[in-house]
Structure 1
Amino acid sequence: MGTPDVDAYIEDFTAFVTASPSSYHAAEEVARRLEQAGFDRLDERDAWPSDPGRRVVVRDGAVIAWVQPAGAEATTPFRILGAHTDSPSFKLKPNPSSAAAGLSQANVEVYGGPLLNSWLDRELRLAGRLATRDGATHLVATGPLLRIPQLAVHLDRGVNTDGLTLDKQRHVQPIWGVETIGDPADIVAHLAALAGVDADEVVGHDVHVVDAAAPARFGRGDVFLAAGRMDNLTSVHAGLTAILDAPADAGHISVLAAFDHEELGSDSRSGASGPFLDDVLARIGAGLGAGVEERRRAFAASSHVSSDAGHAVHPNYPERHDPVNRPVLGGGPLLKLNANQRYATDASGAALWAAACRAAGVPTQEFVSNNAIPCGSTIGPLTATRLGIRTVDVGPPLLSMHSARELAHVEDLAALGAAVGAFLRGA
């Protein structure tokens, strides 16, 4: 592949994943890296500058960054890389501390659509944010703390023949300690201590269960990468590296938009169905003097690459995939298509993506679902519908998608970063 330095790219990506155990951490890590590179962090409550510059704004677990070149006008188009920061997991319920059989447990609910069995018998962390009475939020993350122990085969003799069945309430509550008389375990107090706040001041929390294992390369030639949350931190990182290198003299405004809550359908103030992107683009346009006419002209000339993970053909289940279009690990990032617009790609979008891959010197491969298996979706159709901007859906091929620990080919990730970079440069 004509990719950049794969080893350096993967080393940076694994550092990003490790620093981003929750969507809130991911948004802050993007902002931190951009600020370090000279981007100005803005507050939505303040007036925003209208002069050329490199800027970033965080809303909860979502982040939007942009490069406004010198010479930008009211009708200057946008080039947008869209992604999402959240991943399927478990989330702490209110009053999360419970106990059974002498063991302290964390009361959790399922977030999105995780492969439940993949979370069994792993060391797990907690990560997210706490809210205190003064309205402040505090990021928090533990080390290895929890585990969801599987029932021993001696107590479930049919598990290897009849299959594993997990009840989402009874069978996935993790343990994290031993109950001591007179000293009940309080998981919120434990998190508050880590965050450096008084437990009595905590009035709310958004805290997720996270795989504690570090990302790891393996396989012949170390070509594979195993890590949690690659759906969809792979695309957030690709957009981050691209916006860092976006030109300040382009004929368009480069944008990275990483949303939260995609795994739930995106219906939130920080999700792709919410107003965040529209708010930011409207404020950029207003600073350039755009009215309704100029705004619509800018959008008509704009383009959006929606990047989210897709499926490589599984060697043990080849019949689950389209019999003709057979994307493989190591074959390059995916162009995702669906006749029913579960992905927003059309012929013009396909040409846009082909040009980006050609400019980056990387291959691409097409993904379409088997007709008998319903297709997933992502943020692409949502942004296309809300804003009317030409959108193409792409992403890296994975195996074990929605597992606690997903699998990718390292060259596919580096190729995605290269292609996204070419797109934001104007290829």
Structure 2
Amino acid sequence: MSDIDHAQGLCEFVDGCPSMFHTTARIARRLVSEGFAELPEGDAWEVVPGGRYFTRRNNSSVIAFAVGKDLCDYHFQVAAAHGDSPCFKVKSAAELSGPGDYLRLDVEAYGGMIDHTWLDRPLGIAGRVLVRDGARVESRLFDSAADVALIPSVAIHLNREGGKSPELNRAVDLCALFSAGELGEGSFDRYVAGKLGVDAADVLARDLFLYNRQKACVWGAASEFLSAAKLDDLGCAYAALGGFLAAGVNDAQVNVFACFDNEEVGSNTKQGAMSTFLKDALVRANAALGRSDEDLRRAVSRSFMLSCDNAHACHPNHPEKHDEANRCWLNRGLAIKEAANQHYCSDAFSRAAIAAVLDAAGVPHQTFANRSDMAGGGTLGNLSNTQVSMHGVDVGLPQLAMHSAYETAGARDVELGVDALAAYYRCDLHIDGADSFELR
């Protein structure tokens, strides 16, 4: 595949993932098509050398693993991304009536988005709905697949200062318009039920989110750019999955791909990176292979994680926002991220390890650190390490406008990201404590 093919593949992936539930379902379908067998958490697991498997939790997080055939002194090589992005969640009592005949949706922020970028965009609604079917209640995916809501801004004539720097009250300014009078009280639940082909009384609960339906695209006079909703972190999820599948089974180790939910709200949920999900999957896979708890602890001590979450590319209009020596750029490859406050899990050992892997494969990479007077954000690597401790490094695709309703990255970086992850999974990174490592 060419760099443009990979970029178009990411566009298609993003357009097919309107919520974290759809992202997990799409990844699961891809894994099945590649010959992976699903292991539900509620079933007994059978795992054999050479096998390929995946499991889901909450239908919003997924972990896949490919088991080597020669697991003498084995270890795990993990890459983890997240499938959630900042957006607006529809509240349980969804409707706000008035003023006049208006019908609005009562929403609250999920994560830290750039609020004003959501204004004046036709929006869809997607997520999951719990539906009663006789004595059974089942979860169903929901996607309006149409523009059904919009958050209108206030005209400049009514708010002279707002045009320069809008100050938005999320309880007042960010309610979504759903109807101007054609729809009455109870219409939202009836709309959702109608799309699912059920009675409104049988909709018991829902996790529904507004999403930007503007299509992802590759653009620019030289096709250098890719813009889409949710590039943070579907860009890394796509690259990590692509590299994981391209690498196949590495007989010396167990390759693991994870896509977690809830990173944008702290990861401390049953399906987040701070949960037991990864630990449970590794423990159960190890036991199903007939290995002992001692074997598992030894394997984890030799294991490695790539925490994959996008990085801030140098802004063309505000280079002063970035560290002078440790800034990253579009279309120059994966950024290796570091922070002295350990908001990233990178240290000298792990940075050296991933740099050695990528250098050996001839895959370009770059460095990123925040300005020393800016706190920066955190991600999932160190949070996951509270449950399963292993050497880890934070990496990400460089992008602009992180947490906007529509973000921008480098089109060529998608291929470079897939190549980097494939090189990582193909390599046998043999670790000896924190003293040395060897590429085999």
TM-score norm. by structure 1 comes to 0.95
- Seen in structure 2, the aligned counterparts of structure 1 residues 359 and 12 have a Cα distance that, compared at 3 Å, is farther
Whether 1:137 and 2:152 are equivalent positions in the alignment is no
- Seen in structure 2, the aligned counterparts of structure 1 residues 300 and 123 have a Cα distance that, compared at 3 Å, is same
Confirm or deny: 8 A CA contact 2:65 2:254 kept in the other structure.
yes
Instruction: State the SS of the aligned residue for 1:322.
Output: coil
Q: Which residue of 1 aligns with 2:414?
A: 413
Instruction: Name the stretch that deviates more: 262-271 or 38-47.
Output: 38-47
Q: Measure how far apart 1:372 and its partner are.
A: 1.2
Instruction: State the SS of the aligned residue for 2:88.
Output: strand
Q: Which residue of 1 aligns with 2:159?
A: 156
Instruction: Name the stretch that deviates more: 398-407 or 316-325.
Output: 316-325
**Which amino acid in structure 1 is aligned with residue 179 of structure 2?**
G
Whether 1:253 and 2:250 are equivalent positions in the alignment is no
CA distance in 2, matches of 1:249, 1:119: 44
Matching residue within 84, 93, 98 for 1:86: 84
Q: Which structure 2 residues correspond to residues 150-189 of structure 1 after superposition, within 5 A?
A: 150-161=153-164, 163-180=165-182, 183-189=184-190
Instruction: Name the stretch that deviates more: 192-201 or 56-65.
Output: 192-201
Deviations along 1:255-288, one digit per CA (max 9) or x if unpaired, are 1011000000001111001111011000011112
Q: Which structure 2 residues correspond to residues 226-375 of structure 1 after superposition, within 5 A?
A: 226-375=227-376
Confirm or deny: 8 A CA contact 1:72 1:288 kept in the other structure.
no
Q: Which residue of 2 aligns with 1:21?
A: 18
**Which amino acid in structure 2 is aligned with residue 115 of structure 1?**
I
Whether 1:72 and 2:71 are equivalent positions in the alignment is yes
In structure 1, runs of 5+ residues without a counterpart are none
CA distance in 1, matches of 2:65, 2:157: 57
**Which amino acid in structure 2 is aligned with residue 159 of structure 1?**
G
Deviations along 1:309-355, one digit per CA (max 9) or x if unpaired, are 11011122222111222211122111000011110001111122213
CA distance in 1, matches of 2:176, 2:357: 45
Deviations along 1:129-186, one digit per CA (max 9) or x if unpaired, are 001233310001111111111000110112245x2110011000111222248x4352
Whether 1:44 and 2:59 are equivalent positions in the alignment is no
Q: Which residue of 1 aligns with 2:111?
A: 112
Confirm or deny: 8 A CA contact 2:83 2:261 kept in the other structure.
yes
Q: Which residue of 2 aligns with 1:6?
A: 3
Instruction: Name the stretch that deviates more: 355-364 or 111-120.
Output: 355-364
CA distance in 2, matches of 1:330, 1:247: 26
CA distance in 1, matches of 2:388, 2:68: 22
CA distance in 2, matches of 1:365, 1:65: 28
Matching residue within 126, 144, 147 for 2:150: 147
Q: Measure how far apart 1:384 and its partner are.
A: 2.5
Q: Which runs of 4+ in 1 moved over 3 A?
A: none
Q: Measure how far apart 1:5 and its partner are.
A: 1.4
**Which amino acid in structure 1 is aligned with residue 176 of structure 2?**
P
Q: Which residue of 2 aligns with 1:386?
A: 387
Percent identity of paired positions between Structure 1 and Structure 2: 35
Confirm or deny: 8 A CA contact 1:104 1:185 kept in the other structure.
no
CA distance in 2, matches of 1:361, 1:8: 20
Confirm or deny: 8 A CA contact 2:69 2:252 kept in the other structure.
no
CA distance in 2, matches of 1:302, 1:76: 9
CA distance in 2, matches of 1:242, 1:330: 18
Q: Measure how far apart 1:19 and its partner are.
A: 1.0
Confirm or deny: 8 A CA contact 2:122 2:147 kept in the other structure.
yes
CA distance in 1, matches of 2:182, 2:8: 43
The count of residues paired between Structure 1 and Structure 2 equals 421
Q: Which residue of 1 aligns with 2:436?
A: none
Instruction: State the SS of the aligned residue for 1:93.
Output: strand
**Which amino acid in structure 1 is aligned with residue 80 of structure 2?**
G
**Which amino acid in structure 2 is aligned with residue 225 of structure 1?**
L
Deviations along 1:375-397, one digit per CA (max 9) or x if unpaired, are 21101111223211110000001
Confirm or deny: 8 A CA contact 2:4 2:412 kept in the other structure.
no
Confirm or deny: 8 A CA contact 2:244 2:421 kept in the other structure.
no
Q: Which residue of 2 aligns with 1:103?
A: 102
Instruction: State the SS of the aligned residue for 1:106.
Output: strand
- Seen in structure 2, the aligned counterparts of structure 1 residues 78 and 129 have a Cα distance that, compared at 3 Å, is same
**Which amino acid in structure 2 is aligned with residue 291 of structure 1?**
S
CA distance in 2, matches of 1:315, 1:342: 25
CA distance in 2, matches of 1:362, 1:69: 24
Q: Measure how far apart 1:7 and its partner are.
A: 1.4
**Which amino acid in structure 2 is aligned with residue 48 of structure 1?**
W
Q: Measure how far apart 1:241 and its partner are.
A: 1.1
In structure 2, runs of 5+ residues without a counterpart are 429-440
CA distance in 2, matches of 1:179, 1:99: 10
CA distance in 1, matches of 2:225, 2:167: 30
